Amino acid sequence: MSIFSALGRLIAGPPPSPSTPPPAPVPVIVTTPVEPQVAPVPLEPHVPAGLTIAAGYVLRLLILGVGVVGAYWVLGFFSAITVPFAIAVLLTAMFHPLTDLLKRWGWKPALAAITSLLVMVLVVAGLMVFVGQQVANEWPSLVQQASAGFQTFLAWIATLPFGINATQLLTWFNQGVAWLQTQASSVASTAVEVGGVFGSFFAGLATALVVMFFLSYQGRQIFTGTVDVLIPRPYREVTDRAALRGWTSLTAYMRSAVIVAAVDAAGVALAAFLLDVPLVAALFALTFFLSFIPIVGAVTAGTVAVALALVTHGWVQAVIMLGAVIVVMQLESTFLQPLVMGKAVDLHPLAVLLGIIAGGVVTGILGALLAIPILAFTVAFLRALRHPEERANPTE
């Protein structure tokens, strides 16, 4: 090797190693300018938070109200079905202890259901037949006593310093009778309408009895099938549990309503018997059935009893009868109802009163009858949804 070759290799340096990769090229980063973002203007300075929350509540309540009105319209349109069904539910709850007892004794569900239905029909029919016989037997005496009481009332009116004598009262009475005679066509049309109402009543009663049988026989299966169809799977168990809690409350209410109605009827009938007021059995039946309408029914039955005592025996016996009715109602409201209801039906008296008024305003007597059972079921149902760990009673 010449000296010039050695000198050229020394200047060029050592040859690159085959295992060392060539250096990677340096990437060139190109940056683009970012436009500044403008923050949205908050609504809080212009719309207060309280107004926003209130608007949310109002919107939801409005939607809920529309749904309630729509449901009420649908139920009212199909009242020939919904009303008998509601009555059947109440009757089923009323006789549920008997049906359940028969099933625990080993009776077939169908036989237990038909037995409960027959017991109800026999009790009601027997009571009405007994009342009808008493009214038929005492009607002539009642008419005579009422006529004598009316004459006494006219004589008492004539003694008042209003310038009204018995002759003038008799003239007004005759004018009223003559006016009724001129309204014979209106009376006849009203009688036809009343006949149609009675026909619809008995048709609805037959439907309610049939529905009651099936609810007593297969009510649990019917409800379970309905829940499986209407409720999504994740919510079926909690809905079923809450519905059972509501049913327990409803049966407790109906049981207590029967006891309270029987005690009210017995108290009024005993007072009428001691005062020798006629139609004691009729007063017992009337008070018993009307007592299922809270507050209003008891007041109506007491008014009838006092009026009957006034017509047949005068104002002294009427005042005594009024006192007896007040005592019976006070014992019921302050002692009997809290004792038989307990905590199974936890409703404040104000809620009961407002519920009856609302039901009466919406659908009349039927609404007043159904208001408290519906309220008892709804309150127990919602309480079970909010507090699923609680129990309605120790035996549940």
What pLDDT, in 10s, does the model give residues 21-71?
555 555 555 555 555 555 555 555 677 788 888 888 999 999 999 998 898
Q: How far apart are CA 1 and CA 22, in angstroms?
A: 30
- Both 265 and 119 in one domain: the answer is no
The number of folded domains in the chain is: 2
Per the structure, the complete domain to which residue 220 belongs is given by 75-138+200-230
- Both 220 and 260 in one domain: the answer is no
Per-residue confidence (pLDDT) for residue 7, from 0 to 100: 47
Per-residue confidence (pLDDT) for residue 359, from 0 to 100: 81
**Is 167 domain-assigned?**
no
What value does the mean pLDDT of the chain take?
Answer: 77
**Is 327 domain-assigned?**
yes
**pLDDT band, very low/low/confident/very high, at 114 (cuts 50, 70, 90):** very high
- Both 293 and 373 in one domain: the answer is yes
Mean pLDDT of 323-350: 73
Q: pTM score, two decimals?
A: 0.70
- Both 120 and 217 in one domain: the answer is yes
Q: How far apart are CA 365 and CA 359, in angstroms?
A: 8
Per-residue confidence (pLDDT) for residue 396, from 0 to 100: 40
Residue 276 has pLDDT above 90, yes or no: no
Query: Amino acid identity of 170?
Result: L
Which DSSP symbol is given to 343? Answer: T
Residue 353 has pLDDT above 80, yes or no: no
Mean pLDDT of 345-355: 74
- CB of 291 closer than 8 Å to CB of 263: no
**Is 106 domain-assigned?**
yes
Q: How far apart are CA 214 and CA 81, in angstroms?
A: 15
**Is 385 domain-assigned?**
yes
Q: How far apart are CA 209 and CA 122, in angstroms?
A: 13
**Is 52 domain-assigned?**
no
Most confident of 53-57, 301-305, 351-355: 53-57
